Amino acid sequence: MSEAVLVLEDGRTYRGERFGATGATVGEIVFNTGMTGYQETLTDPSYHRQIVVMTAPHIGNTGLNDEDPESTRIWVAGYVVRDPAVRPSSWRSRRSLDEGLVAEGIVGIAGVDTRAITRHLREQGVMRAGIFSGEALVDASGRARPLEDLRDQVRQAPPMAGADLAGQVSVGERYTVEPGPGTVPAGAAALTVVAVDLGIKSMTPQRLAERGVRTHVVPASVEVQDILDLRPDGVFFSNGPGDPAAATHEVDLLRGVLDRRIPFFGICYGNQILGRALGLGTYKLTYGHRGVNQPVMDRRTGKVEITAHNHGFAVDAPLTGDTVAPHDDGRYGRVRVSHVDLNDDVVEGLECLDLPAFSVQYHPEAAAGPHDAAYLFDRFVDLMTRTEAGDAAAH
248-259 and 269-277 helices, crossing angle to 10°: 70
**Cβ–Cβ < 8 Å for 366, 377:** no
Q: Which residues of the chain have pLDDT under 50?
A: 395
Pick from 386, 164, 382: nearest CA to 272: 164
Task: For the full predicted model, state whether its pTM sits above 0.85.
Answer: yes
**Cβ–Cβ < 8 Å for 302, 395:** no
What is the model's pLDDT at position 48?
A: 97
List binding-site positions for L-glutamine: 46, 240, 242, 272, 310, 312-313
What is the model's pLDDT at position 395?
A: 43
Measured distance CA(189)–CA(145) in Å, rounded: 64
List binding-site positions: 46, 240, 242, 272, 310, 312-313
Residues designated catalytic = 268, 363, 365
Sequential DSSP letters for 277-325: HTT-EEEEEEEEEEEEEEEEEETTT--EEEEEEEEEEEEE--SSS-EE-
3-state DSSP helix/strand/coil % of the chain, to nearest 5: 25, 30, 40
Measured distance CA(203)–CA(222) in Å, rounded: 21
The domains of the chain, with CATH numbers, are 3-155 (3.50.30.20), 166-394 (3.40.50.880)
The torsion angle over the Cα atoms of residues 307, 74, 160 and 194, rounded to 10 degrees, is -60
Query: How many other C-beta atoms are found inside a 10 Å radius of the C-beta of residue 7?
Result: 26
Task: Name the 3-class secondary structure at 49.
Answer: coil
Q: What angle do CA 127, 132, 138 make, to 5 degrees?
A: 135
What is the model's pLDDT at position 186?
A: 83
Task: Name the 3-class secondary structure at 140.
Answer: coil
What is the model's pLDDT at position 287?
A: 95
Measured distance CA(378)–CA(137) in Å, rounded: 52
What is the model's pLDDT at position 1?
A: 66
| 15: DSSP letter | E
Task: Name the 3-class secondary structure at 5.
Answer: strand
